[in-house]
């Protein structure tokens, strides 16, 4: 009984103390793959006497839709994780407040896709072809060095890709082919891939864990991320020196996904939201990115972790398609692709 | 705790107390009385289903130029939509027929015989129902994929150079997965109803000279029909709204309406068309449910339900025992072999030897289980597996309580008077959430539940509420046939002999429907435990359920991630099995055997 009273008293003190010194809560809405170190968040919270609350709202497309539908009564103060394939949707729907962070000055112009600074670049990653090193070695097949290579008969039946209609890396790879071959020719390339027996499945998980030879499938070449090989090393069962897979990073074979952060319209915490955006662009957060989410910081001042850099190949010149082109053509491209590849 | 009779169902108790003396038929109560029973369930559906759905449809149509009409016309006239609709219907019909074919012999076995390990069999066959689609896909792939055991076996047996079984991206994969997921619905709904049917009816027919086929056609099937069509309806709706199975196992060439809605919503952000498709899907399910309601009212008849101990016997003949063994083996092979393959892989080393490509078995390991307890990246969002299990169980318990509290009065009202206006109106309404697009409803929560005191958009409360929407129809459907079959004369006799309404409930109704209550609770539990709500709802990363954790691991490359996903899936299966066994053991009050 006495214990109960003490507990009760303690909880009352806790509640009342919480009421006396209100800590500002900043809510950050993001996608399912978001991750960050405890200590990085703690650093921000102590510095600003604030508490961070993260909300995960599904994959990138789903999360963006939710932010758009909630724009009259926003779910959060900040939205992080919209990429260049979805950017125009958020900008057209006007869900962000413009904020010219002072740190933007340090960030290369190529990443700044919104001139009004409603969406600020945070990180980038590349969708690239990955291959099973051992399989290609054993069968004396060279890794492809261009997209055109995939049409060669020696690559027949080796490639598995995702459906761009349902998968984000699938869409990115379709955009890589559009960026490289141009709008007039990309469908010819895909016709060639179909002739060369490309396999299409709907999601990244199935391509990687069911169809890829590394995980028991029959296809040694797969569309995945440039960062997948380091993942294979870091999440190996037993320590290994060489990744069992590698990414193809030749010019115009990859598509770069840039992720952005924006302050949601209608926030009651504008100052704190600005502080968080600055923090995301600062080296503390930027240096935490690679090992948490396997993406690259956009801030060149950020030092990269050695294990990460060691196994990571970065494409010098990824294929490029502008967000506005993506916005206006996404539907027709996907429909044309579907008609060509799946029918 | 008593799930719904003593503590949780004030409506029923109150009604029993205030009930006037039973009328000769036990029917014909005032509309006001009917409404009072319906109040709770209706309020729940209005707030958490109709209001969000109405809001999202309104917002969606408002985004288009043509209002309501244009997207609807577009949906109805487009040939691709028509193709999708046609595929949705026939694959669901075929899947349902196959599920019944597989489930009914098993249901017979569970209903009529008493044998050792029956509870375990029941629990094992229920596990598929809760497994996340991606995990099931991996399991089937381990068995039937190009490098799966079956193909490797057949290739070495007949020295073939290519895998003979083509599984991924085929219609058979979709059908097999649907049967795999839904057989438990038939086993439970039909099996448990069957177990209360008096075997003497069939025996009497036999004495009168009916052979086995005639007994089946003229005695058993007519009596079972209400349960069979109920199970078939639920299975059909599940298959009709199938999403993960189509996407993952069917591949890009197949699309149901639900897949098309997802594509229009997420990929193209064409909300008006998505809303039109949602309405189309709803209309189909509504039409189906209304037909069902008509049919079931006509088919059901009061029966002399018997407690199970009078209806079940041990196997008498060797032939019977053999037939049972074959049925059980087939069921278990179909429903648990893929899962067993998963469990085995979760304790097997996965990393291939250098130069050898297949993940070969190189001995056993508990590394993946151990790894679950390590926060390797010092990530803010790391959650120990015990927490995820705890969260899952709390949500499941809340769902069971909520679904029974709401479902019991609704089932009661439906069973007591299926012909009253309120019953005819509300019966189809109950089923609607099952046939609703999860993507659409998830966005509906965002639009509708946005203002205090109902700003639940980011609240953990929303999860059991959403689970209850799915579980509620199951609870009602499990309970109604049993409640409906109680002979009014039993209650009248009890009343004549001086039993209070409460005593009648306790000593007449309860023992007869106890089994159905357990079935209802089991469904609510499994629906909640296995539901993957992250796509439809906003997730608080600090409270993930086990399925959400599994997806987190499965979305990253690397042996440890894959292994941890397998380990967590195995844990999920165990929790589910233990949960179902616990519910089986559960006795309502001290009623004893059912």
The enclosing domain of A184 has a CATH number of 3.40.190.10
Min mean pLDDT across A127-131, A239-243, B353-357 is at: B353-357
A220 and A275 housed in the same domain: no
CB contact under 8 A, A35 and B141: no
Whole-angstrom distance, CA of residue A149 vs CA of residue A159: 11
A158 and A265 housed in the same domain: no
Q: Report the chain B residue with the minimal C-alpha distance to residue A326.
A: B268
DSSP H or E segment with residue A180: helix A168-181
Min mean pLDDT across A281-285, B11-15, B300-304 is at: B11-15
A105 and A245 housed in the same domain: no
Per DSSP bridges, beta strands A24-30 and A78-83 are parallel
Tokens 């003593």 correspond to what residue? B6
A199 and A337 housed in the same domain: yes
- On whether residue B2 sits in a domain, the answer given is no
Whole-angstrom distance, CA of residue B387 vs CA of residue B393: 10
Residue A132: its pLDDT value, please? 95
A142 and A246 housed in the same domain: yes
CB contact under 8 A, A292 and B379: yes
Task: Indicate if the pLDDT at residue A2 is higher than 90.
Answer: no
* Cα of B311 to nearest chain A Cα, Å: 47
A94 and A145 housed in the same domain: no
**What six digits make up the tokens of B350?**
């996965």
A117 and A176 housed in the same domain: no
* Cα of B542 to nearest chain A Cα, Å: 9
Q: Report the chain B residue with the minimal C-alpha distance to residue A71.
A: B447
Q: What angle do CA B178, B183, B186 make, to 5 degrees?
A: 130
Beta carbons within 8 Å of B96's beta carbon, 6+ residues apart:
B182, B232, B235, B236, B239
A214 and A276 housed in the same domain: no
A107 phi, psi to nearest 5 deg: -95, 135
In this prediction, residue A17 has a pLDDT band, given cuts at 50, 70 and 90, of very low
SS3 category, A121 = strand
CB contact under 8 A, A73 and B561: no
Segments forming the whole domain that contains residue A233: 126-255+316-341
CB contact under 8 A, B559 and A61: no
**ipTM, interface predicted TM-score of the complex:** 0.85
Given a contact cutoff of 8 angstroms between Cβ atoms, the answer to whether A209 and A113 are in contact is no
CB contact under 8 A, A32 and B351: no
- On whether residue B391 sits in a domain, the answer given is yes
In this prediction, residue B11 has a pLDDT band, given cuts at 50, 70 and 90, of very low
CB contact under 8 A, B168 and A57: no
Residue B535: its pLDDT value, please? 57
Q: What angle do CA A317, A319, A321 make, to 5 degrees?
A: 130
Task: Indicate if the pLDDT at residue A202 is higher than 80.
Answer: yes
Q: Based on the structure, what is the number of domains in chain A?
A: 2
CB contact under 8 A, A57 and B443: no
Task: Indicate if the pLDDT at residue A14 is higher than 60.
Answer: no
Q: Looking at residues B57-80, what average pLDDT do you find?
A: 86
Q: Looking at residues B436-455, what average pLDDT do you find?
A: 86
Which residues in chain A are closer than 8 Å to B252, comparing Cβ atoms?
A: 163, 165-166, 200-202, 338, 342
Segments forming the whole domain that contains residue B371: 10-585
Which residues in chain A are closer than 8 Å to B168, comparing Cβ atoms?
A: 201, 206, 210-211
A95 and A40 housed in the same domain: yes
Task: Return the exposure string of A6-17: e unless at least 16 CB atoms fall within 10 Å of the residue's CB, then b.
Answer: eeeeeeeeeeee
What percent of chain B has pLDDT above 90?
24
Task: Indicate if the pLDDT at residue A152 is higher than 60.
Answer: yes
Residue A304: its pLDDT value, please? 86
Min mean pLDDT across A116-125, A145-154, B366-375 is at: B366-375
Given a contact cutoff of 8 angstroms between Cβ atoms, the answer to whether A78 and A118 are in contact is no
In this prediction, residue B460 has a pLDDT band, given cuts at 50, 70 and 90, of confident
Residue B321: its pLDDT value, please? 86
* Cα of B301 to nearest chain A Cα, Å: 47
- On whether residue B402 sits in a domain, the answer given is yes
Q: Which long-range contacts (CB under 8 A, 24 or more apart) does A179-187 make?
A: A179/A252, A179/A255, A179/A318, A179/A319, A179/A320, A179/A321, A180/A147, A180/A252, A180/A253, A180/A319, A181/A147, A183/A329, A187/A336, A187/A337, A187/A340
Q: Looking at residues A32-51, what average pLDDT do you find?
A: 93
Which of A32, A203, A235 lies nearest to residue B534, judging by beta carbons? A32
DSSP H or E segment with residue B479: helix B462-484
Q: Report the chain A residue with the minimal C-alpha distance to residue B261.
A: A166
Check which CATH number belongs to the domain holding B327 and give it.
1.10.3720.10
Whole-angstrom distance, CA of residue B403 vs CA of residue B292: 22
> Which of A235, A285, A335 to probe by mutation at the B interface, max B CB count within 10 Å?
A235
CB contact under 8 A, A201 and B251: yes
Given a contact cutoff of 8 angstroms between Cβ atoms, the answer to whether A123 and A289 are in contact is yes
Q: Looking at residues A270-277, what average pLDDT do you find?
A: 96
Beta carbons within 8 Å of B206's beta carbon, 6+ residues apart:
B215
Residue B16: its pLDDT value, please? 37
CB contact under 8 A, A210 and B141: yes
- More confident call, B318 vs A223: A223
Which of A57, A213, A342 lies nearest to residue B253, judging by beta carbons? A342
- More confident call, B289 vs B422: B289
- On whether residue B188 sits in a domain, the answer given is yes
Which of B252, B354, B381 lies nearest to residue A202, judging by beta carbons? B252
Give how far the C-alpha of residue B262 lies from the chain's centroid of Cα atoms, to the nearest Å.
Answer: 21
Q: Looking at residues B422-438, what average pLDDT do you find?
A: 85
**What six digits make up the tokens of B135?**
């995990």
Task: Return the exposure string of A204-216: e unless at least 16 CB atoms fall within 10 Å of the residue's CB, then b.
Answer: bbbbbbbbbbbbb
In this prediction, residue B449 has a pLDDT band, given cuts at 50, 70 and 90, of confident
Which of A138, A165, A210 lies nearest to residue B168, judging by beta carbons? A210
Which residues in chain A are closer than 8 Å to B359, comparing Cβ atoms?
A: 215-216
Residue B1: its pLDDT value, please? 34
Q: Looking at residues A167-173, what average pLDDT do you find?
A: 93
**What six digits make up the tokens of B227?**
């349960």
Per DSSP bridges, beta strands A120-132 and A296-297 are antiparallel
A27 and A109 housed in the same domain: yes
Q: Report chain B's mean pLDDT, rounded to a whole number.
A: 82
A7 and A94 housed in the same domain: yes
Given a contact cutoff of 8 angstroms between Cβ atoms, the answer to whether B305 and B195 are in contact is no
Given a contact cutoff of 8 angstroms between Cβ atoms, the answer to whether B337 and B125 are in contact is no
Whole-angstrom distance, CA of residue B64 vs CA of residue B69: 10
Task: Indicate if the pLDDT at residue B48 is higher than 50.
Answer: yes
CB contact under 8 A, A55 and B458: yes
- On whether residue B593 sits in a domain, the answer given is no
Q: What is the DSSP letter of A103?
A: G
- On whether residue B591 sits in a domain, the answer given is no
Q: Looking at residues B170-194, what average pLDDT do you find?
A: 91
- On whether residue B526 sits in a domain, the answer given is yes
SS3 category, A159 = strand
CA distances to A143, A148, A211, A248, B497 from A132, in Å: 9, 19, 12, 11, 79
**What six digits make up the tokens of A82?**
């919209």
- On whether residue B5 sits in a domain, the answer given is no
Q: Report the chain B residue with the minimal C-alpha distance to residue A168.
A: B267
Given a contact cutoff of 8 angstroms between Cβ atoms, the answer to whether A31 and A60 are in contact is yes
For the beta carbon of residue A126, count every other beta carbon within 10 angstroms: 24
Beta carbons within 8 Å of B500's beta carbon, 6+ residues apart:
none
Give how far the C-alpha of residue B171 lies from the chain's centroid of Cα atoms, to the nearest Å.
Answer: 22
Min mean pLDDT across A74-78, B505-509, B565-569 is at: B505-509
* Cα of B233 to nearest chain A Cα, Å: 29
Q: Looking at residues B41-54, what average pLDDT do you find?
A: 92
- More confident call, B417 vs B465: B465
Q: Report chain A's mean pLDDT, rounded to a whole number.
A: 89
**Which segments within chain A are labelled E, that is strand?**
24-30, 50-56, 78-83, 96-97, 120-132, 159-162, 199-201, 221-225, 245-247, 255-264, 296-297
Task: Indicate if the pLDDT at residue B13 is higher than 60.
Answer: no
Q: Based on the structure, what is the number of domains in chain B?
A: 1
A164 and A243 housed in the same domain: yes
Q: Which one, of B90, B334, B336, lies nearest residue B236 by Cα?
A: B90
For the beta carbon of residue B360, count every other beta carbon within 10 angstroms: 12
* Cα of B55 to nearest chain A Cα, Å: 11
CB contact under 8 A, B538 and A75: yes
CB contact under 8 A, B351 and A236: yes
Task: Indicate if the pLDDT at residue B26 is higher than 70.
Answer: no
């Amino acid at each position: 009984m006495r214990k109960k009273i003490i507990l009760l008293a303690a909880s009352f003190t806790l509640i009342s103390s919480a009421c006396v010194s209100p800590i500002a809560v900043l809510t950050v809405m993001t996608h399912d793959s978001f991750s960050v170190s405890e200590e990085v968040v703690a650093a921000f919270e102590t510095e600003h006497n604030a508490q961070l609350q993260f909300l995960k709202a599904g994959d990138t497309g789903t999360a963006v839709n939710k932010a758009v539908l909630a724009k009259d009564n926003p779910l959060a103060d900040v939205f992080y994780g919209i990429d260049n394939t979805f950017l125009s949707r958020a900008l057209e729907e006007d869900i962000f407040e413009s904020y010219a962070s002072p740190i933007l000055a340090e960030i290369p112009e190529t990443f700044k896709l919104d001139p009004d600074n409603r969406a600020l670049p945070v990180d980038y990653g590349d969708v690239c072809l990955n291959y099973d090193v051992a399989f290609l070695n054993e069968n004396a097949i060279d890794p492809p060095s261009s997209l055109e290579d995939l049409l060669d008969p020696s690559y027949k039946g080796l490639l598995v890709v995702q459906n761009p209609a349902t998968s984000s890396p699938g869409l990115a790879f379709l955009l890589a082919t559009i960026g490289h071959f141009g709008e007039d020719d990309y469908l010819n390339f895909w016709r060639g891939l179909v002739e060369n027996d490309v396999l299409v499945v709907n999601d990244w998980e199935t391509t990687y864990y069911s169809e890829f030879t590394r995980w028991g499938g029959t296809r040694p070449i797969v569309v995945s991320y440039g960062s997948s090989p380091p993942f294979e090393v870091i999440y190996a069962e037993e320590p290994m020196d060489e990744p069992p897979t590698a990414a193809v990073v030749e010019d115009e074979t990859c598509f770069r996904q840039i992720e952005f952060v924006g302050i949601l319209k209608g926030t009651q915490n504008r100052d704190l939201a600005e502080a968080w955006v600055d923090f995301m662009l600062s080296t503390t957060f930027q240096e935490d990115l690679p090992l948490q989410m396997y993406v690259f910081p956009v801030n060149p001042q950020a030092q990269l972790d050695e294990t990460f850099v060691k196994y990571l190949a970065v494409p010098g010149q990824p294929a490029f398609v502008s967000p506005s082109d993506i916005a206006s053509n996404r539907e027709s491209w996907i429909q044309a692709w579907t008609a060509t590849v799946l029918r | 705790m008593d799930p719904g009779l003593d503590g949780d169902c004030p409506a029923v108790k109150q009604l029993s107390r205030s009930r006037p003396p039973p009328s000769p038929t036990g029917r014909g109560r005032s509309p006001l009385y009917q409404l009072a029973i319906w109040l709770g369930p209706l309020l729940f559906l209005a707030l958490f289903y109709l209001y969000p759905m109405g809001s999202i449809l309104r917002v969606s149509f408002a985004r288009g130029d043509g209002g309501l009409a244009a997207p609807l016309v577009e949906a109805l006239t487009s040939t691709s939509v028509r193709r999708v609709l046609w595929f949705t219907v026939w694959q669901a019909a075929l899947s349902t027929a196959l599920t019944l074919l597989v489930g009914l012999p098993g249901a017979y076995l569970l209903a009529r015989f008493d044998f050792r390990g029956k509870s375990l069999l029941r629990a094992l066959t229920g596990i598929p129902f809760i497994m996340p689609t991606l995990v099931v896909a991996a399991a089937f792939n381990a068995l039937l994929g190009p490098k799966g055991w079956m193909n490797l076996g057949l290739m070495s047996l007949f020295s073939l150079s290519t895998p003979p079984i083509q599984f991924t991206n085929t219609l058979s994969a979709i059908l097999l997965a649907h049967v795999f997921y839904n057989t438990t619905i038939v086993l439970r709904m039909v099996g448990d109803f069957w177990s209360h049917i008096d075997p003497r009816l069939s025996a009497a027919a036999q004495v009168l000279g009916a052979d086995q086929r005639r007994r089946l056609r003229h005695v058993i099937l007519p009596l079972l029909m209400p349960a069979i069509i109920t199970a078939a309806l639920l299975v059909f709706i599940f298959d009709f709204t199938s999403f993960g199975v189509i996407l993952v196992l069917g591949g890009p060439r197949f699309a149901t309406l639900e897949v098309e809605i997802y594509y229009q919503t997420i990929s193209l952000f064409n909300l008006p068309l998505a809303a039109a498709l949602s309405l189309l899907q709803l209309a189909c399910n509504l039409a189906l449910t209304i037909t069902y309601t008509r049919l079931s009212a006509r088919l059901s008849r009061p029966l002399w339900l018997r407690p199970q101990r009078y209806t079940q016997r041990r196997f008498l003949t060797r032939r019977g025992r053999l037939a049972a063994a074959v049925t059980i083996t087939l069921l278990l092979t179909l429903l648990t072999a893929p899962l067993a393959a998963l469990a085995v892989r979760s304790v097997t080393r996965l990393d291939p030897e250098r130069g050898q490509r297949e993940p070969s078995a190189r001995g056993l390991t508990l590394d993946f289980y151990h790894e679950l307890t390590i926060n390797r990246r010092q990530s803010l969002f790391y959650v120990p597996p015990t927490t995820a299990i705890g969260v899952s169980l709390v949500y499941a318990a809340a769902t069971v309580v909520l679904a029974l509290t709401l479902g019991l009065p609704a089932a009661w009202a439906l069973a007591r008077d299926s012909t009253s206006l309120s019953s005819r109106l509300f019966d189809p309404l109950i089923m609607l959430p099952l046939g609703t697009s999860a993507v659409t409803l998830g966005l509906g929560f965002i639009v509708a539940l946005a203002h205090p005191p109902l700003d639940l958009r980011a609240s953990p409360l929303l999860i059991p509420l959403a689970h209850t929407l799915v579980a509620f129809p199951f609870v009602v459907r499990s309970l109604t046939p049993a409640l409906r079959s109680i002979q009014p004369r039993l209650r009248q006799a009890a009343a004549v002999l001086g039993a209070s309404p409460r005593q009648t409930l306790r000593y007449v109704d309860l023992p007869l429907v106890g089994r159905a209550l357990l079935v209802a609770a089991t469904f609510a539990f499994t629906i909640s435990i296995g539901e993957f709500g992250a796509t439809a709802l906003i997730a608080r990363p600090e409270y993930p359920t086990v399925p959400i954790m599994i997806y987190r691991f499965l979305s990253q490359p690397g042996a440890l991630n894959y292994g941890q996903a397998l380990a967590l899936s195995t844990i999920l299966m165990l929790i589910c099995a233990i949960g179902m066994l616990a519910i089986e053991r559960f006795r309502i009050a001290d009623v004893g055997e059912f």
